[in-house]
Every structure is written in C-alpha cells, then in structure tokens.
Amino acid sequence: MKQTYRQILGTPKPFVKWAGGKRQLIPILNENLPNTFGTYYEPFLGGGALLFHILTERNGQKCNISDLNSDLVLAYTTIRDRIDELISSLKNHERNYQKDSKSYYYSVRDTNPRSEIEKTSRLLFLNRTCFNGLYRVNSKGKFNVPLGKYTNPNIVNEENLRSVSDIFQSSRVSIKCRDFEAVLRDAKKGDLVYFDPPYQPVSQTANFTSYTNKNFTLDDLSRLSELCMKLDSKGCRVLLSNSDSKEVADMFAKKPWKVRKIQANRSINSNSKKRTGHFELLIKNY
C-alpha cells in the first residue's frame, strides 16, 4: 500500500508564520470544540493552526476554509496542486539568498510576479526571511516588512510543505478567497464555525490589522456579531476568538454567548520583552 507523506513525514503544520496564529492555544481550543459537528468552517484562515489540528485529529473531516488575503489563499491551492514546481522555485530562492541575503531579499520584495508558483514562493520566502516572520502590507497592499536577522532560515521546509500538500489532496477541504460573511450562505445546522478575526485593539498602540490592504474596523466587528447571531439561529455551533476589549465583551454580553477569559502569549510585538502573557476572549454558543 502506498504510504502517504503524513505517515513518512509527520503531521502537517501551519506553513506560514501569521500574526495572531493560534498554535500556542491549540490545547485550550481543542478542549472547547464540540464532540461532534458537521462541516468545519474557518473564514479567517490565516496560518490555519486549528484547521491543521482538526484535519490530523479527525480523519475525513469536511472543511470549508477561506480568507480575504488572495496571496495567502493562492499559497494554499498552489501547495495542494503544484507542490513539486513550488519546491524547486523555493530552492532557487534559497540558493540566491545564501549568496547575498540582503540584496536578494530586497530585490524579491520589490518584485510583483504574475505566475502562481512565483507568487507563492515569494510569499513563503519573504515569510521565512523577513523581520519577525510576519505578513504585513501597506495601504496599497504592498508587502513592507524589512529583512530579518537569521543565520540559517529554513526557507524550503520541504517535509512540512509535502505533508500539507498531501493532506489537502486526500481530504475534503474547500479553499476560497472571500469575505467572512459569505459563510452564512453555506453553513447548516450542526456545522461548526470558528472565527479568528483581526483583533480589536486593546489600546491605541496595540493595533495590528494590516493582513490585507483593508483594515478590520468596528463596523466589521458589528457585521461579525450580527452574523454570529444569524448562525446561531440556523443551529450552527459558533466559536470565536478575540481580544479582551470592551467592544467585544459588550457585543457578546447576552445569551446565547458564553464568554471565557483565557491566557495567551502575545507574539507579534516587535519587542520580545513585551511579548508577555495576556488575556483574550473565547466565546461560544454551545
């Protein structure tokens, strides 16, 4: 019998470092999942930490994932459909980076490739080599993070990319680029929707909302809270992460919402000394 990459290479993990990534919170998120559910929806996908956990723990689980960042969504489909070409393009980046990391990094940052392979390998290359390993764009949608200080960054990470490709090819996962509200059309009674939106800032200086060239505003948060009510009326299970901010607490103060404060580590502050433990909210209707 043909062995899958998962059996040979281990479990697939997020292939990008993403602001707000949930890897450290997987144990607590796992405790808060319902025992059974229909389709799993993750409409603010990012690095997809909970998605990968669910795919590896629940064999055959149907998943419907999406994000508004078209480069990120393209990376998921390219890894699924064109893994060999992608790996050879990344190896090319790795060779060039090893010759002159600084000038090569900025030359790649300045490019705007057209092909799917080049776009995705650029995103993965920049994510591995930029400062703090984060994706951030300016108001024109241009990636604007400077070079990071790494001696030997793992630019290709072939094992994990092949394992991710394998799990997407063999699972029932639909991947789309769209606004989160579109989930309402598709989700049915008994389905689980996990929302991990860009967080409401807890202070003026804590704002990090530039995953796309559109910020996530308070209006978006109101749209999200109305959507959660509509999903609840349809009989969906809703799980939501957000910052411990007054706006969020007020919007989810009433039934059917159960709000829990959980401890998390903030990892996107550029000053590592400020990446201390903080509380955030986990909200659910079941």
Ligand X SMILES: C[S@@+](CC[C@H](N)C(=O)[O-])C[C@H]1O[C@@H](n2cnc3c(N)ncnc32)[C@H](O)[C@@H]1O
- Return residues touching ligand X (CB under 6 A): 18, 20-22, 43-44, 46-49, 67-69, 179-180, 196-198, 211-212, 216, 220
Of residues 105, 114, 11, the one with CA closest to residue 56: 11
Smallest gap, in angstroms, from Cβ of residue 180 to ligand X?
4
Provide the β-strand partners of residue 125: none
Smallest gap, in angstroms, from Cβ of residue 240 to ligand X?
11
Q: Identity (one letter) of the amino acid at 283?
A: I
> Any idea which residue has 């003026």 for tokens?
204
Smallest gap, in angstroms, from Cβ of residue 187 to ligand X?
14
Q: Which is nearer to ligand X, 72 or 97 (CB)?
A: 72
Q: Which is nearer to ligand X, 49 or 108 (CB)?
A: 49
The count of C-alpha atoms lying within 13 angstroms of the C-alpha of 134, restricted to the half-sphere facing its C-beta, is 19
| CA–CA gap between residue 48 and residue 164 (Å, rounded) | 11
Provide the β-strand partners of residue 176: 66
Q: Which is nearer to ligand X, 104 or 224 (CB)?
A: 224
Provide the β-strand partners of residue 87: none
Q: Identity (one letter) of the amino acid at 208?
A: F
Of residues 286, 282, 211, 212, the one with CA closest to residue 29: 282
- Nearest residue to ligand X by CB is 46
Phi, psi of 35 (to 5 degrees): -65, -45
Q: Which is nearer to ligand X, 89 or 242 (CB)?
A: 242
Smallest gap, in angstroms, from Cβ of residue 172 to ligand X?
20
Q: Which is nearer to ligand X, 67 or 166 (CB)?
A: 67
